[in-house]
Structure 1
């Protein structure tokens, strides 16, 4: 006990000496921090990376499998331009001419390698023993009405067109532009493609105003990621204004607000320098770091400033004495909360999503610097500025504050409040288990984002955006012409088409059937895969030689013709359903085909579907480590094993309560929400630490019993906790308006958790502190508590 007391005295002595040093050398300290902040800021460089690949670590198995598939065939980053004529019929001369013009212009897209449209679809036909492969509709301006009617008839019967580039009624069509991005500089390549496509579409609509145009694909997805990052970065300016106003209203002191602004700006400048020094490229999740740091850095300053102003207003301290006392009381709690926040954000490195690693590391560094500036630049600046406050007039009959009354209320009935709190928390924890994981990347964006609205339109009117791909091997070079392989591939295609979620299947077996039919005079009885290997090989060679440049089969067949690519387009289904479908297809191949034909499903869609589950599994370990580390920090800092252990309850339960309320609100969790436990654990410790530190001060320094100490804690730190909570709520409320769901959902549930943390720290925590205190202590009645509150004044 003596050792603990000595440790506490040493801590107080250090904090006091530190404050005296800063105040004495206020100008050198302020100038040093200014030079540090400017020096760090000068190293800053914010580059953005909108490529969806950034969401996956290099060791991600789904990414490895997808990259391996693209190496076998061709990279298929794409832009799909969907056209809807106002007359509801694609097959008129004017509309086909317009589509033909846009298709020709689409070939000029930077890095384009292929353009697929209804007009240039390679239609096969036979004349005697000759195979003809032509554009379905070329030189549309010269076509007669009868020829156009025949083109429509052929198109609506073509399996490779319907539900892929053409809807079943022929009222909506698509032009699919495949691009091969070099991958050297996505920040340059993606905007280059996007700029060209947008200009092309704008020119097309100006010339053909009777067409509605929508676009989607992987390039627009990357663009949406990039633009979301830019928009979320702009939220920082809104947040800065809100924080300034909120701080001014709550502290009622202009110079306090100015000092807070300086700390925040220094912290953000240092974090930007860290981004530049580490060479981090910003992404939608990591681009919100200024808002995070801004929001969290304010909390450090608020505690120091509120205590200082209280001492000046209530206790008539001089500015210097008030500042010294505030630093003595708050140095260790601010250090602890900063440390726990840093630990919480660093746990993001345990996850499997690199952008969240960056967010965690940048914010952790920013919070480290925020602590430094809060304990140097802030007191130095407050010592320099002419801070004046109006001392409160003595009242004959002192009116108890709201915080004192709340403390009295809790002190009267700790057992009852504990039971009620535990019942409510238990119920909400049960509800939290009802949340389901769903990580559809389309839903990463809200309806205000053009990519989302266009993609929804395309899904409803033409085809699905989600797909799963299989590279089905034959086991030998040239084996795709083996009749046994073709028959099994055909069976797989048929099975896929029977699945309820499947919209379209693009498989080589369909090409083999179509060419076989054409080589037999277009007789429908021959619309099947060839029975003879030599025939199949000859037909394939003849067909490939007839295809024009850019429309070959390299996107479907690998170089040595040992494997083919099966692309399954499916409806917009949930992550769990997507994974289930992929596993079902893999099991069918394992059960119905030879070993060499077994394949796994891959695609960006599937990668995103599995990402959240992978993130959750990897973050579980990180969250446990964070909980243990933070609990250990609190035990050491509070110098009390029992209270350190107790702190786990108010630190963990707000997260459970938050997810319980979320189950009633959305009941769906995405990847961005998986990090919430570790992130908020560090944040909500702030309330617990400050309340417990004031409770312990009352017990150790002032000799109060547990109930009196609880009321003292309410009086001395209650306003600061409410103030910091309001600032945190403002920050995350602004972030919750983001159009990017990974950020907005994370912010929304964080708002719920922060409110829950304050309520729990005001109701459950003080109740538990009273209940676990030694019963042998002399406990004053609540009626006698009121005058005791004046002892420390």
Structure 2
């Protein structure tokens, strides 16, 4: 006990000495704070990276497999232009001419390497013993109705076109632009492509107003990521206004509002400097760091300022004395809450999504600076400002307020409130298990984003935008011409087409069948893979020599013709369905083909589907470590093992309640929500620490029993907890309006968890403190009367 008392006295002495030092040297401290913040801010250099690759770590096995496939074939970064004429018929002279012109213009897209459209589709036909390969529709303006009717008939019978470039009705078609980005600077390359394509579409729509144009593909996806980052950065200004207004209303002090504003702005400026110094490129998840820091940094200032104002208004202390007393009471709680928040955000590094590493590290640094500025800049600035408050009269002081009334309500029925709370938490925990994981990347964006609505339109009217790919090997150079290989590949293609999830299959076996038919006078009985290897090789060589530049088979077969690429277009599947289908296809290859043909499924869509599960697995360890570290910190800070252990309940319960309520709201979680446990754990500890610290102070310094100590805690810290909770909810509510679902869903469930934390800390925590406290005889001779509890705020 003596050791604990000495440690407590040492902590109080340090806090008082620190406060007196800052107040004595207020001008040098203030100037040093300005220099530090501006010095760090001058190193800021915020660059944005919208490439979807940033979501995957370099060691991610799905990314490694996908990159390996793209090394063998052409890269498939693309822009899909989907054209819908108002007359609902692609096959008119005017419409085909317009499509042909847009196809030609699409070749001018920066970094373009291939353009596939219905007009330049390489149709094969026989002319005597010769193979004839040409555009399906060229010089469309010169075609007559009968020629166009023939083109339509050919197109609607072509498996490589229907449900890929053309819908079954012939009313919607696509132009697919493949680009080979250098990969030197995606922040410049992707916007360059996007600006050109948007300008090209505007010009096309001016000339052909009868067409609707929708865009999708990996380049528009990257653009949507980039523009979401910029939009979320803009939310910071809205949040700043809300913080100013909220702080002003709750503190009723213009000077307190000004100082709080300086603390949060300097914290953000310092974090911007950290971004520049570390060379971090911002992404949609990490771009919200200003709003995060702004929201969280307010809490430190609020606790110090509200206690100071209470001491001045209720106890009549001078500004300096009130400031010193507030620092004494709040220095350690603010330090502990800042530390636990930093620990919570640093646990994001255990995950498998680099943008969340950046968000965690940037916010952790910003919160460290927020603590520093809250304990230096804030008291120094407040010591300088001419703050005056009206001291309340004696009769106003003794009047009970809402917090004391609620405290008395809780202390009268701790058993009942504990039982009810635990039953509700248990029910919410059960519901939390009903959440399912779904990480469809299309749903990363809400319907205010053009990319989302355009992609939905394409899925409904033309083809799916989800796909998986296989690089199917033959075992030797030129082996793709082996009849056994072709028959197995053909069987795989047929099996894929039979699956209900599949919309379209693009495989080399289809090319082999088509060329074989044409080489036999377009006889339908020869629409099958060749039976002779030499014959198949000759047909392939003749076909390749007939293809124009840019429309070769490099996107389907590798250089030495030992492997071919199978692309499967799927319906919009959720993550578990996408993973299940890929595993089913891989298993079919293992069961029905020789070992050299066994292949794994890859694609960006599959990578995103697996990302959340991988993130959840990797974050589990981080969350456990965070919980252990934070519990140890609380045990040491509170200098009470039992209370430190007890604190786990009000710290974990809000997360369980939050996910339980989410099950009633959405019942689906995504990658962004996986980090919520570690992130909010550090935040909600704030309430627990401040409540417990005041509870212990009442027992240790004032000699109150458990019930009186609970009421005292409500009176002294209740208003601050409500204030910080309102600010936190406001901040995350603003972030919840983000068009980027990883951020908005994370923010929405954080609002639920933070509100749940306040309710639990106002009902369950004090009930548990009463039930677990020993009924000890008071040892303080001059017991402070109960009405003093109301005065000592």
Q: What are the within-5 Å matches in structure 2 for residues 545-560 of structure 1? A: 545-560=545-560
Q: What are the within-5 Å matches in structure 2 for residues 15-54 of structure 1? A: 15-54=15-54
Q: Give the deviation of 1:785 after TM superposition.
A: 8.0
TM-score normalised by L of structure 1: 0.99
C-alpha distance in 2 between matches for 1:626 and 1:158: 58
Contact preservation (8 Å) 1:736, 1:743: yes
Q: Give the deviation of 1:598 after TM superposition.
A: 0.2
Residue 353 of structure 2 is matched in structure 1 by 353
Residue 662 of structure 1 is matched in structure 2 by 662
C-alpha distance in 1 between matches for 2:717 and 2:776: 27
Residue 226 of structure 1 is matched in structure 2 by 226
Q: Give the deviation of 1:779 after TM superposition.
A: 13
Residue 483 of structure 1 is matched in structure 2 by 483
Residue 57 of structure 1 is matched in structure 2 by 57
C-alpha distance in 1 between matches for 2:243 and 2:227: 25
Contact preservation (8 Å) 2:705, 2:775: no
1:459-492 C-alpha deviation (Å, 9 max, x unpaired) = 0000000000000000000000000000000000
Structure 2 gap segments, 5+ residues each: none
Q: Give the deviation of 1:392 after TM superposition.
A: 1.1
Residue 517 of structure 2 is matched in structure 1 by 517
Residue 770 of structure 1 is matched in structure 2 by 770
SS in structure 1 at match of 2:123 = strand
Asked whether 1:285 is paired with 2:288, we answer no
Contact preservation (8 Å) 1:708, 1:788: no
SS in structure 2 at match of 1:451 = helix
Residue 423 of structure 1 is matched in structure 2 by 423
Contact preservation (8 Å) 2:654, 2:757: yes
SS in structure 2 at match of 1:237 = helix
SS in structure 2 at match of 1:274 = helix
Q: Give the deviation of 1:560 after TM superposition.
A: 0.3
C-alpha distance in 2 between matches for 1:57 and 1:552: 33
Residue 148 of structure 1 is matched in structure 2 by 148
Q: How many residues align?
A: 790
C-alpha distance in 2 between matches for 1:417 and 1:141: 80
C-alpha distance in 2 between matches for 1:108 and 1:792: 75
Gap change, CA 1:454 and 1:779, over 3 Å in 2: farther
Q: What are the within-5 Å matches in structure 2 for residues 617-628 of structure 1? A: 617-628=617-628
C-alpha distance in 1 between matches for 2:391 and 2:160: 82
1:289-329 C-alpha deviation (Å, 9 max, x unpaired) = 00000000000000000000000000000000000000000
C-alpha distance in 2 between matches for 1:469 and 1:754: 43
Residue 212 of structure 2 is matched in structure 1 by 212
Residue 712 of structure 2 is matched in structure 1 by 712
Residue 672 of structure 1 is matched in structure 2 by 672
Q: What are the within-5 Å matches in structure 2 for residues 522-533 of structure 1? A: 522-533=522-533
Contact preservation (8 Å) 1:323, 1:379: yes
C-alpha distance in 1 between matches for 2:226 and 2:219: 11
Residue 302 of structure 1 is matched in structure 2 by 302
SS in structure 1 at match of 2:398 = coil
C-alpha distance in 2 between matches for 1:705 and 1:776: 7
C-alpha distance in 2 between matches for 1:239 and 1:776: 48
SS in structure 2 at match of 1:644 = helix
Contact preservation (8 Å) 2:110, 2:193: yes
1:352-394 C-alpha deviation (Å, 9 max, x unpaired) = 0000000000000000000000000000000000011111122
1:258-290 C-alpha deviation (Å, 9 max, x unpaired) = 000000111001000000000000000000000
SS in structure 2 at match of 1:162 = coil
SS in structure 1 at match of 2:59 = coil
1:620-660 C-alpha deviation (Å, 9 max, x unpaired) = 00000000000000000000000000000000000000000
Contact preservation (8 Å) 1:27, 1:380: yes
Q: Give the deviation of 1:397 after TM superposition.
A: 9.2
Q: What are the within-5 Å matches in structure 2 for residues 127-146 of structure 1? A: 127-146=127-146
Q: Give the deviation of 1:109 after TM superposition.
A: 0.2
TM-score normalised by L of structure 2: 0.99
C-alpha distance in 2 between matches for 1:756 and 1:205: 52
Residue 405 of structure 2 is matched in structure 1 by 405
C-alpha distance in 1 between matches for 2:383 and 2:571: 64
SS in structure 1 at match of 2:358 = helix
Q: What are the within-5 Å matches in structure 2 for residues 691-710 of structure 1? A: 691-710=691-710
Q: What are the within-5 Å matches in structure 2 for residues 436-451 of structure 1? A: 436-451=436-451
Contact preservation (8 Å) 1:26, 1:383: yes
1:100-153 C-alpha deviation (Å, 9 max, x unpaired) = 000000000000000000000000000111000000000001111000000000
1:370-425 C-alpha deviation (Å, 9 max, x unpaired) = 00000000000000000111111221893211000111011001111000000000
Gap change, CA 1:785 and 1:590, over 3 Å in 2: farther
C-alpha distance in 2 between matches for 1:649 and 1:577: 36
C-alpha distance in 1 between matches for 2:243 and 2:771: 38
Contact preservation (8 Å) 1:684, 1:757: yes
Structure 1 gap segments, 5+ residues each: none
Contact preservation (8 Å) 2:398, 2:790: no
Contact preservation (8 Å) 1:123, 1:134: yes
Q: Give the deviation of 1:786 after TM superposition.
A: 4.6
C-alpha distance in 2 between matches for 1:179 and 1:785: 78
C-alpha distance in 2 between matches for 1:121 and 1:103: 11
C-alpha distance in 1 between matches for 2:668 and 2:792: 50
Gap change, CA 1:414 and 1:788, over 3 Å in 2: farther
C-alpha distance in 1 between matches for 2:42 and 2:275: 11
SS in structure 2 at match of 1:395 = helix
Residue 94 of structure 2 is matched in structure 1 by 94
Q: Give the deviation of 1:686 after TM superposition.
A: 0.2
Q: What are the within-5 Å matches in structure 2 for residues 213-292 of structure 1? A: 213-292=213-292
Question: Moved runs in structure 1, 4+ residues, more than 4 A?
Answer: 776-780, 790-793
Residue 737 of structure 1 is matched in structure 2 by 737
Contact preservation (8 Å) 2:506, 2:566: yes
SS in structure 2 at match of 1:789 = helix
Contact preservation (8 Å) 1:556, 1:566: yes
Contact preservation (8 Å) 1:98, 1:208: yes
SS in structure 1 at match of 2:394 = coil
Residue 71 of structure 2 is matched in structure 1 by 71
Q: Give the deviation of 1:789 after TM superposition.
A: 2.4
Residue 648 of structure 2 is matched in structure 1 by 648
SS in structure 1 at match of 2:174 = strand
Asked whether 1:122 is paired with 2:122, we answer yes
C-alpha distance in 2 between matches for 1:287 and 1:318: 43
SS in structure 1 at match of 2:625 = helix
Q: What are the within-5 Å matches in structure 2 for residues 97-112 of structure 1? A: 97-112=97-112
